[in-house]
């Protein structure tokens, strides 16, 4: 099957998935509520046209963008139908309309994932791609394509002419194992080429299909562009009010619901005679220091134990100097080992969230000594509140290099979105359950 046929199959399958969601939502809402559904067919036409224009069917829309746009479109069409029904322009049942659109949104996203799985199983989803460009935009493009499992591209190589040795080393630390080339030699024909900058790349392989990665608020609303759009967060140093309000509300509720667990863990932690909580000074928003709270997971004389280890063990000293962590840390108590593996030691940070020092999702809070690892990107870190969880925690945590951690923090700040936070929170649950990268 040719690439053109594969594209057509994907687009038809995804449009059919949305049509099936409309049919299922109509049937289910009819079972649960009496009355007519106003303008159902025109609404379907609007839905298909909007999603096609936003690149949902052509491999141009990141999954998190699709989720947000599907939810927003469903809400807008719900308001339109309710308004028309309320003003008696068209007949309709309020309850059925209220049931219909959430079912459409959930069904659309679910059926799209199903179509992707079926087509992927038959080899009709993923196409090899090469990303080209330079600077931070190149890194953004590679990560965007690699991290989004719904995009139908597999990055097989990166072409970056003119990279200096320091940039090459940083690239290799962030994208371990990905081939980096200075030209197009040796690459097969028929690849999809994703441009990370507006410059044309000479010497493309024969038959290459071209896409661009675009970033910025201006491009976010464009229709029918041959581009993968990354909407940048407005660089004003402000966190959206909605995020702060929801963080504090969720933290307050969680503290109430989890108070019995706090008592149980606190009792176990204090059995060695030490304190329940441990607070370490970390760097917060704007560079302000704050006490980051955890359940104590180390022995009472942890500082002395660490000093003795680093003074007498060169291998441990080298490991500590690399990223301020030890895989086999002698300071950890048996109870602390369990708390760290399950991430329960970080629950007291809900107090930090409630006090406005932290967020539920954000860059991991760092110590003053770790600022050197961020270099010119530390300003990005300081522009938001650090989080209990974040991209680093759901992307390998302690198993990733510090260069990649800095890159993930910068990515989060630059491309923050509400739906991105929701996705990270859901992924955090899976990471905690399977204990990935925790030690």
Distance CA 416, CA 395 (A): 16
Name the domain boundary from 121, 139, 170. Answer: 121
- Asked whether residue 221 carries a pLDDT value surpassing 50, the answer given is no
Distance CA 74, CA 47 (A): 9
Tell me: do 153 and 104 sit in the same domain.
no
Tell me the residue range of the domain where 413 lies: 241-297+332-434
Note whether residue 110 is domain-resident.
yes
Of 16-30, 66-80, 205-219, 424-438, the range with the lowest mean pLDDT is 205-219
Tell me: do 150 and 263 sit in the same domain.
no
Both tokens of 33, joined, read: 């509520």
Name the domain boundary from 179, 208, 230. Answer: 230
Tell me: do 270 and 415 sit in the same domain.
yes
Tell me: do 276 and 374 sit in the same domain.
yes
Tell me: do 14 and 162 sit in the same domain.
no
- Mean per-residue pLDDT for 296-325? 84
pLDDT at res. 277: 93
pLDDT at res. 301: 84
Of residues 217, 181, 180, 244, the one with CA closest to residue 384: 244
Reported as a single tens digit per residue, the pLDDT across 34-57 is 777 777 889 999 999 999 999 999
For residue 153, the surrounding DSSP H or E stretch is strand 153-159
The count of C-alpha atoms lying within 13 angstroms of the C-alpha of 190, restricted to the half-sphere facing its C-beta, is 6
Q: Which residue has the tokens 């176990």?
A: 268
Note whether residue 318 is domain-resident.
no
Q: Beta strands 153-159 and 127-132: pairing type?
A: parallel
- pLDDT-derived band at 229 (thresholds 50, 70, 90) equals confident
Both tokens of 1, joined, read: 């099957």
Note whether residue 72 is domain-resident.
yes
CA dihedral sign, ordered 284, 285, 288, 293: negative
The number of distinct structural domains making up the chain is 3
* Cβ–Cβ under 8 Å, residues 39 and 85: no
Tell me: do 30 and 158 sit in the same domain.
no
Tell me: do 359 and 407 sit in the same domain.
yes
Distance CA 255, CA 243 (A): 18
Both tokens of 121, joined, read: 């199983």
407 vs 430, residue with greater confidence: 407
For residue 312, the surrounding DSSP H or E stretch is helix 302-312
Note whether residue 303 is domain-resident.
no
Note whether residue 277 is domain-resident.
yes
Phi, psi of 71 (to 5 degrees): -65, -45
Mean per-residue pLDDT over the chain, rounded:
86
Tell me: do 159 and 196 sit in the same domain.
yes
- pLDDT-derived band at 235 (thresholds 50, 70, 90) equals low
Both tokens of 401, joined, read: 């290099």
10 vs 327, residue with greater confidence: 10
- Asked whether residue 167 carries a pLDDT value surpassing 50, the answer given is yes
- Mean per-residue pLDDT for 330-351? 90
Tell me: do 112 and 131 sit in the same domain.
no
User: Residue 417, SS3?
Assistant: coil
User: Residue 158, SS3?
Assistant: strand
Q: Which residue has the tokens 């309320």?
A: 86
- Mean per-residue pLDDT for 45-70? 92
Tell me: do 338 and 191 sit in the same domain.
no
Note whether residue 52 is domain-resident.
yes
Reported as a single tens digit per residue, the pLDDT across 135-152 is 888 998 899 999 998 999
Percent of the chain with pLDDT strictly greater than 70: 89
* Cβ–Cβ under 8 Å, residues 336 and 298: yes
State the DSSP code for 429: H
Q: 366's torsion region: left (phi>0), alpha (psi -120 to 50) or beta?
A: beta
Note whether residue 307 is domain-resident.
no
- Residues 6 or more apart whose Cβ sits within 8 Å of residue 94: 82, 85
Name the domain boundary from 121, 136, 167. Answer: 121
User: Residue 104, SS3?
Assistant: helix
- Asked whether residue 218 carries a pLDDT value surpassing 50, the answer given is no
Distance CA 66, CA 45 (A): 18
Distance CA 61, CA 379 (A): 29
Which stretches within 87-164 are classed as H helix? Answer: 94-121, 135-147
pLDDT at res. 266: 92
- Mean per-residue pLDDT for 381-402? 86
Tell me: do 68 and 110 sit in the same domain.
yes
pLDDT at res. 200: 55
* Cβ–Cβ under 8 Å, residues 172 and 158: no
Tell me: do 200 and 165 sit in the same domain.
yes
Distance CA 385, CA 239 (A): 8
Note whether residue 308 is domain-resident.
no
Full-model pTM: 0.83
- Residues 6 or more apart whose Cβ sits within 8 Å of residue 188: 128, 205
């Amino acid at each position: 099957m040719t690439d053109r046929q594969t594209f057509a199959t994907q687009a038809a399958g995804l449009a059919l998935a949305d049509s099936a969601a409309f049919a299922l939502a109509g049937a289910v809402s009819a079972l649960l509520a009496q009355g007519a559904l106003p303008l159902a067919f025109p609404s379907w036409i609007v839905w298909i046209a909007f999603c096609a224009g936003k690149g949902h069917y052509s491999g141009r829309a990141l999954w998190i963008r699709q989720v947000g746009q599907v939810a927003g479109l469903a809400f807008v069409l719900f308001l339109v139908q309710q308004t028309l029904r309320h003003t008696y322009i068209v007949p309709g049942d309020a309850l059925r309309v209220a049931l219909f659109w959430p079912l459409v949104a959930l069904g659309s996203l679910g059926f799209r994932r199903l179509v992707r799985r079926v087509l992927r199983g038959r080899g009709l989803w993923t196409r090899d791609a090469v990303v080209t460009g330079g600077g931070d935009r190149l890194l953004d493009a590679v990560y965007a394509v690699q991290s989004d499992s719904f995009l139908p591209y597999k990055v097989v190589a990166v072409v970056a002419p003119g990279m200096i040795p320091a940039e090459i080393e940083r690239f290799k630390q962030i994208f371990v194992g990905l081939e980096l080339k200075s030209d197009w030699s040796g690459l097969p024909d028929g690849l999809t080429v994703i441009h990370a900058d507006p410059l044309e790349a000479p010497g493309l392989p024969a038959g290459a299909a071209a896409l661009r990665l675009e970033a910025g608020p201006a491009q976010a609303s464009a229709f029918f562009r041959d581009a993968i759009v990354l909407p940048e967060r407005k660089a004003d140093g402000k966190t959206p009010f909605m995020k702060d309000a929801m963080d504090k509300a969720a933290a307050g509720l969680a503290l109430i619901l989890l108070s019995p667990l706090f008592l149980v863990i606190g009792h176990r932690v204090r059995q060695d005679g030490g304190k329940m909580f441990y607070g370490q000074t970390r760097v917060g928003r704007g560079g302000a220091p704050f006490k980051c709270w955890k359940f104590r997971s180390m022995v009472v004389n942890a500082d002395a134990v660490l000093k003795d280890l680093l003074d007498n063990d060169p291998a441990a000293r080298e490991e500590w100097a690399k990223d301020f962590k030890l895989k086999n840390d002698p300071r950890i108590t048996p109870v602390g080992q369990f708390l760290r593996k399950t991430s329960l030691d970080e629950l007291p940070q809900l107090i930090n969230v409630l006090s406005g020092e932290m967020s539920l999702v954000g860059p991991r809070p760092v110590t003053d000594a770790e600022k050197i690892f961020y270099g010119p990107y530390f300003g990005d870190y300081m522009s938001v509140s650090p989080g209990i969880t974040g991209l680093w925690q759901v992307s390998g945590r302690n198993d990733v290099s510090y260069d990649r951690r800095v890159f993930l923090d910068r990515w989060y700040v630059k491309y923050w979105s509400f739906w991105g936070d929701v996705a990270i929170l859901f992924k955090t649950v899976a990471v905690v359950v399977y204990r990935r990268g925790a030690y």
